[in-house]
């Protein structure tokens, strides 16, 4: 005779014993959980993310939670560094090094310490001055200045400028003076010289750096334009004063938002009626920096510039921008077959 299985039985079969309150909202090690009385089988449940061996985090963790988990899986002297530290500081990094896109957390350990060997953790041995180690919401990270120095290994000079524009100059100078490396010092010094905190977005910073590194005149940033009666017309991203040439970076919302698109067209018409010429720049243009610079140079020549393009050795030789939609595939989340008991 068949025995019917009702809702009560289903609930009993699928229910999970709640974790202790101290383990519910933050990463924890499996030994800590076992000492708290959590069964080994409970640590393999689907509501826990097991990407780092010996550590559990709540499912769908954000970046700070993953950073805390990565430190739990690392030696005590470890610190979050590189692109992961940059994102935690709120600094801009390109997609190719973004820890979320790479599905990898950047960790640094002292030179005499072995780094963690975990899928999803990228470790480096670095000498870090105590002043270059800070805490953000309880997470040990490299300072903003030291993070900028370390990013020179993976970023172009224009990308380093985009970061430098958002960090106080004093912090950058002090971190650079303490930085033990010499290999990328030239890149950092060039980027520091191009720093302009008036820039309001990373693409604008990259655009300005490309222009200057190509030997073109340096534009002024975020300039208010008034008509002959003194009335405000627009605030433009970058202006070559002597030549009346304006550069405007257009994010995708300028295309997808119909009202914004209409305002842009009216604004551009107003500016050109005052004698200016507007060059709009998109992310696709930044992905082809030499073509972009040559186009800007042609427009400047039409308006009286007599110079020539002279590329700095720090001008990007090719675009680091990845093809749209290409991201690293996610790594499998395989729980520990046998959680450590010690």
pLDDT at 181: 77
Q: How would residue 182 be classed by pLDDT, with cut points 50, 70 and 90?
A: confident
C-alpha 18/C-alpha 14 separation (Å) is 12
With a threshold of 0.75, does the pTM exceed it?
A: yes
Domain boundaries, the chain: 23-197+326-342, 215-302
**Coil vs helix vs strand at 307:** coil
Choose among 134, 117, 135, 132: nearest CA to 174: 132
pLDDT at 252: 59
pLDDT at 37: 94
**Buried b / exposed e across 224-238, counting CB within 10 Å, b at 16+?**
ebeeeeeeeebebbb
Cβ burial of 175 (10 Å; 0-12, 13-18, 19+) is buried
Instruction: Say which residue, 251 or 215, is predicted with more confidence.
Output: 215
Residues 34-75 have pLDDT tens digits of: 999 999 999 999 999 999 999 999 999 999 999 999 999 999
Confirm or reject CATH 3.40.960.10 for domain 215-302, answering yes or no.
yes
Predicted confidence (pLDDT) at residue 1 exceeds the cutoff of 70: no
C-alpha 67/C-alpha 89 separation (Å) is 13
Q: How would residue 316 be classed by pLDDT, with cut points 50, 70 and 90?
A: very high
């Amino acid at each position: 005779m068949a025995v019917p299985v009702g809702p009560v039985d289903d609930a009993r079969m699928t229910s999970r014993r709640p974790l202790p309150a101290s383990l519910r909202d933050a990463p924890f090690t499996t030994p800590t959980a076992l000492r708290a009385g959590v069964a080994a089988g409970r640590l393999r449940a689907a509501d826990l993310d097991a990407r780092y061996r010996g550590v559990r985090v709540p499912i769908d963790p954000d970046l700070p939670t993953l950073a805390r988990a990565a430190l739990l899986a690392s030696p005590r002297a470890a610190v979050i560094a590189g692109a992961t530290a940059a994102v935690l500081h709120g600094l801009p990094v390109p997609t190719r090094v973004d820890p979320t896109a790479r599905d990898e957390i950047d960790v640094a350990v002292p030179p005499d310490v072995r780094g963690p060997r975990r899928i999803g953790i990228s470790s480096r041995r670095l000498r870090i001055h105590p002043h270059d180690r800070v805490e953000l919401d309880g997470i040990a990270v490299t300072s903003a200045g030291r993070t900028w120095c370390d990013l020179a290994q993976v970023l172009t000079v224009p990308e380093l400028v985009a970061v430098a524009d958002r960090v106080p100059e004093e912090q950058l100078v002090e971190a650079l003076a303490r930085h033990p490396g010499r290999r990328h010092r030239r890149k950092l010094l060039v980027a520091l010289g191009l720093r302009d905190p008036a820039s309001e977005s990373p693409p604008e910073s990259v655009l300005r750096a490309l222009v200057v590194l190509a030997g073109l005149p340096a534009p002024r940033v975020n300039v208010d334009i008034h008509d002959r009666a003194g009335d405000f017309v627009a605030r433009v991203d970058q202006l070559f004063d002597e030549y009346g040439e304006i550069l405007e970076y257009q994010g995708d919302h300028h295309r997808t938002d119909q009202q914004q698109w209409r305002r842009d067209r009216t604004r551009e018409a107003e500016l050109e009626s005052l004698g200016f010429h507007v060059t709009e720049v998109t992310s696709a243009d930044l992905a082809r920096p030499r073509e972009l610079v040559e186009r800007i140079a042609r427009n400047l020549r039409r308006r009286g510039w007599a110079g020539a393009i002279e590329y700095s050795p720090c001008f990007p030789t090719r675009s680091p921008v990845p093809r749209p939609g290409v991201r690293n595939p996610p790594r499998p989340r395989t729980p520990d077959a046998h959680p450590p008991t010690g």
